[in-house]
Amino acid sequence: MRIYNTLSKKIEEFIPNDGNNVKIYTCGPTVYHYAHIGNLRTYIFEDILEKGLTYLGYNVKRAMNITDVGHLTSDGDTGEDKMEKGARREGKTVYEIADFYTEAFLNDMKKLNIKIPSIIEKASDNIDIYIKMISKMLDDGYAYISNGNVYFDISKADSYYELSGKNPDDLKIGVRDTVSLDSSKKNPMDFVLWFTLSKFENQIMKWDSPWGVGYPGWHIECSGISYKIFGDYLDIHCGGVDNIFPHHTNEIAQSEAFLGHKWCNYWCHGAHLNDESGKMSKSNGEFLTVSLLEKKGYSPLDYRFFCLNSHYRNSLVFTYDSLDIARNAYKKVKNKVSLLKEEGDIQKDLFDKYRGMFCDAISNDLNTSSMITVLYDVLKANELNNTTKIELLKDFDKVLSLDLFVEDDSSIDKDFEEYITNMINERNEAKKNKDYARADEIRNTLLEKKVKLIDTREGTTFELM
């Protein structure tokens, strides 16, 4: 397996710490609103990573957090807690908001055939671990208390800028909203581990700590949960590119200060999905959610197929036209698959050959469009009998999760479908008998009924127009 590592800025051979066992941590959602389809693109990439590694024979354990406290409206230490803001918007408590949007997020994951990570932890359930880690960082001189808050002192972190590749000069105050002018900080880039000086008096989620009643900073939750689940070492940490700085940068600083050694070897980041305005947003323009796509007549898997056609490290612009193209291509694939009827014994050598091609696509930095090319190759390969094709496609679908063998719950009436099938059979017969006039007549009759025939090497399928 070769994968791009943001830490080294190179594609590297993936070598887990413990033989075949792989520990993956993925940053979860901030549950103050629905996830937009951009967020979900990142979870699709992470799903392919987990399933791809499993397909290659690794034993993967994956954990994800649910951010229900501490993530401020900036990614740094300024602004209001997003959860508090969400609660005010809807006139509910933060707990109600968290439960509602966590459920909605998990539902979106299911609709998109994203495997729910086997371990999910709420940020608010792990306060004791953050307190343990922060206490040690204070004892060891990595953290300091100023005006009631506990800060991490970035001057104590080796290679603070390694992951982001940033130049400290670019991060001067005012250049980014992630750097705040806070006179309590020794260095403007220092970040909060524990807030007691809440700017928001009515902050609902708060806990006792050795430094006063307060709440954790956003970054400590992922260091804490990862430590609780995986202990001293992590193999892969992922998220979207916006997480590189400051979130993942700060996670590395905290975890390595606490552990006293290098923590995670591979950092993998998914590029963004943008809309035509340049940035996907939950507040401006059309709020693109899975439910919105469904309301517009798309299936969530049309969107999954759309995402898989491009590489996770390339940013992608969402338009309905490009989603339409993906939907039609996906429909054609499913139609072709539905025409495959078992025939003959499995061709073991050829099965291995195509499986090998699929493994190569996974191993090549999760090249999902190559995986789909191998799928097309299988569909059109003359050397493969249908049984082998079916077994290969079922196998590939363990990673792609496109429900290739699940019949569409289409609104097409069963009698009408039978009529179309009979017409296709009659047309095949007519063509065999060189009665092209009748064959054309059948095509046109179906066209009038808004049914378009598609001739492929494997046979004729149809599409409703």
Summarize as ranges the residues that interact with ligand AMP (CB under 6 A). Answer: 27, 29-30, 38-39, 41-42, 67, 239-240, 242-243, 270, 272-273, 280
C-alpha–C-alpha distance, residues 265 and 381, integer Å: 40
Binding partner selected for residue 117 from Zn ion, ligand AMP, none, CB under the kind-specific 5 to 8 Å limit: none
When asked if residue 220 is in the footprint of Zn ion (CB under 5 A), the reply is: no
Which secondary-structure segment (H or E) carries 152? strand 149-152
C-alpha–C-alpha distance, residues 336 and 456, integer Å: 8
Nearer to ligand AMP, 243 or 255 (CB): 243
Number of residues that bind Zn ion (CB under 5 A): 2
DSSP character at residue 248: I
Binding partner selected for residue 113 from ligand AMP, Zn ion, none, CB under the kind-specific 5 to 8 Å limit: none
Contacts of the segment 343-346: beta carbons below 8 A, 24+ positions apart: 343/385, 343/386, 343/387, 344/385, 344/386, 344/387, 344/388, 345/385, 345/387, 346/387, 346/388, 346/391
- Residue in 259, 24, 74 with CA at minimum distance from that of residue 157: 259
Binding partner selected for residue 222 from ligand AMP, Zn ion, none, CB under the kind-specific 5 to 8 Å limit: Zn ion
C-alpha–C-alpha distance, residues 281 and 258, integer Å: 35
Hunting for tokens 């343990």 — which residue is that? 132
- The span of 19-27, 169-177, 423-431, 437-445 binding Zn ion (CB under 5 A) equals 19-27
Residue partners of 45: CB distance under 8 A and separation at least 6: 238, 270, 307, 312, 366
Nearer to ligand AMP, 122 or 389 (CB): 122
Interface residue with Zn ion, options 1, 3, 27, 337 (CB under 5 A): 27
Binding partner selected for residue 42 from Zn ion, ligand AMP, none, CB under the kind-specific 5 to 8 Å limit: ligand AMP
- Residue in 293, 269, 392, 303 with CA at minimum distance from that of residue 113: 303
DSSP character at residue 241: G
C-alpha–C-alpha distance, residues 93 and 125, integer Å: 17
Binding partner selected for residue 217 from Zn ion, ligand AMP, none, CB under the kind-specific 5 to 8 Å limit: none
Please state the closest distance from residue 180 (CB atom) to Zn ion, in A: 20
Judged by DSSP in three states, 313 sits in coil
Nearer to ligand AMP, 66 or 134 (CB): 66
What is the token pair recorded at 436? 């092209």
DSSP character at residue 72: B
For the chain, the residue count is 465
Please state the closest distance from residue 363 (CB atom) to Zn ion, in A: 27
DSSP character at residue 362: H
Please state the closest distance from residue 71 (CB atom) to Zn ion, in A: 9
Please state the closest distance from residue 27 (CB atom) to Zn ion, in A: 3
Query: Beta strand pairing status for 143-146 and 119-122?
Result: unpaired
When asked if residue 72 is in the footprint of Zn ion (CB under 5 A), the reply is: no
Q: Which of residues 278-297 bind Zn ion (CB under 5 A)?
A: none
- The span of 111-119, 220-228, 263-271, 278-286 binding Zn ion (CB under 5 A) equals 220-228
Nearer to Zn ion, 76 or 300 (CB): 76
Hunting for tokens 């992608």 — which residue is that? 316
Nearer to ligand AMP, 29 or 52 (CB): 29
Please state the closest distance from residue 38 (CB atom) to ligand AMP, in A: 3
Cα 287 to Cα 103, 108, 240, 241, distances in angstroms: 18, 15, 19, 20
* Centroid of chain to Cα 370: 18
Nearer to ligand AMP, 30 or 223 (CB): 30
Q: Closest residue (Cβ) to ligand AMP?
A: 240
Interface residue with Zn ion, options 222, 252, 268, 326 (CB under 5 A): 222
Binding partner selected for residue 240 from Zn ion, ligand AMP, none, CB under the kind-specific 5 to 8 Å limit: ligand AMP
C-alpha–C-alpha distance, residues 313 and 42, integer Å: 10
Please state the closest distance from residue 82 (CB atom) to ligand AMP, in A: 8
* Interface contacts to Zn ion, rule CB under 5 A: 27, 222
